[in-house]
């Protein structure tokens, strides 16, 4: 009976491919990523097809979940650039590398502020964040060192970046002059 299964998937593909691609494209915003997700969703639906009463519902649910995962990964990659943290750590000097008492005081204040922000993180999140940001460890290295999954490392780094950025924004931007 494999012909029935293949025919059902072919029919599902013909009937759903365009609408599924549009749906996923709205979720991820990238044509290439949308195509990859659509292919993976069809593969997953095919693999589970015999056990599913409504394959179209499974297809769209799988695509939605894959799109959400892709957006999370993209967000982690975007925020993992750490440019704000690099600036706060004083790695870029505004006066061509000459250290004056003022620049040293500003760098010390930034360092203390960053330290305070990191200390507010939950212990496991702080450990992962510190290993990534200050020691340059890869996600895989952090996962091994902390005995957690790479996915959990991604979540800790994402949360750490979010919480640190929020803390720094409150201290610098929101604490600015009121109009």
At 144, the pLDDT band (50, 70, 90 cuts) reads very high
Residue 179, in any domain of the structure: no
Q: Tell me how far apart the alpha carbons of residues 93 and 88 are, in angstroms, rounded to a whole number.
A: 10
Please report how the helices 123-133 and 101-119 are oriented relative to each other, as an axis angle in degrees rounded to 10: 140
Non-local (6+) Cβ contacts of 140 within 8 A are: 150
Domain that holds residue 16: 2-79
Alpha helix ranges (H) inside 49-98: 55-79, 83-88
Q: Which residue has the higher pLDDT, 3 or 123?
A: 123
Q: Do 72 and 105 lie in a common domain? A: no
Q: Measuring CA to CA, which residue among 134, 125, 119, 132 is closest to residue 160?
A: 125
pLDDT computed for residue 179 by the predictor: 45
pLDDT computed for residue 77 by the predictor: 60
Question: pTM for this structure?
Answer: 0.46
Q: Measuring CA to CA, which residue among 103, 25, 17, 120 is closest to residue 64?
A: 25
What single-letter DSSP state applies at residue 50?
G
Mean per-residue pLDDT of the chain: 80
62 alpha carbon, distance to own chain's centre: 19
Q: What is the mean pLDDT of residues 84-107?
A: 61
What single-letter DSSP state applies at residue 103?
H
Q: Do 7 and 72 lie in a common domain? A: yes
CATH number at residue 162: 1.10.10.10
Q: Measuring CA to CA, which residue among 57, 65, 69, 50 is closest to residue 16?
A: 57
pLDDT at 55 exceeding the cut of 70: yes
Q: Do 71 and 7 lie in a common domain? A: yes
CATH number at residue 55: 1.10.1740
Q: Tell me how far apart the alpha carbons of residues 39 and 45 are, in angstroms, rounded to a whole number.
A: 10
pLDDT computed for residue 124 by the predictor: 93
Residue 36, in any domain of the structure: yes
Q: What is the mean pLDDT of residues 7-32?
A: 88
* Cβ atoms of 157 and 129 closer than 8 Å: yes
């Amino acid at each position: 009976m494999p012909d029935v299964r293949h025919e059902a998937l072919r029919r599902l593909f013909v009937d759903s491919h365009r609408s599924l691609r549009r749906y996923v494209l709205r979720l991820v915003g990238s044509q290439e990523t949308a195509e990859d997700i659509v292919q993976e969703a069809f593969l997953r639906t095919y693999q589970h097809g015999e056990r599913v009463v409504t394959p179209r519902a499974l297809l769209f649910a799988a695509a939605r979940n894959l799109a959400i995962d892709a957006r999370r990964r993209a967000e982690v990659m975007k925020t993992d650039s750490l440019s704000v943290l690099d600036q706060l750590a004083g790695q870029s000097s505004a006066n061509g590398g000459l250290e004056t008492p003022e620049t040293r005081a500003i760098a010390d204040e930034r360092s203390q502020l960053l330290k305070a922000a990191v200390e507010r993180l939950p212990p496991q999140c702080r450990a992962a964040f510190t290993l990534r940001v200050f020691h340059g460890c890869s996600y895989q290295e952090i996962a091994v060192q902390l005995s957690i999954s790479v996915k959990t490392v991604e979540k800790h780094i994402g949360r750490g970046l979010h919480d640190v950025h929020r803390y720094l924004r409150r201290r610098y931007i929101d604490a600015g002059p009121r109009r």
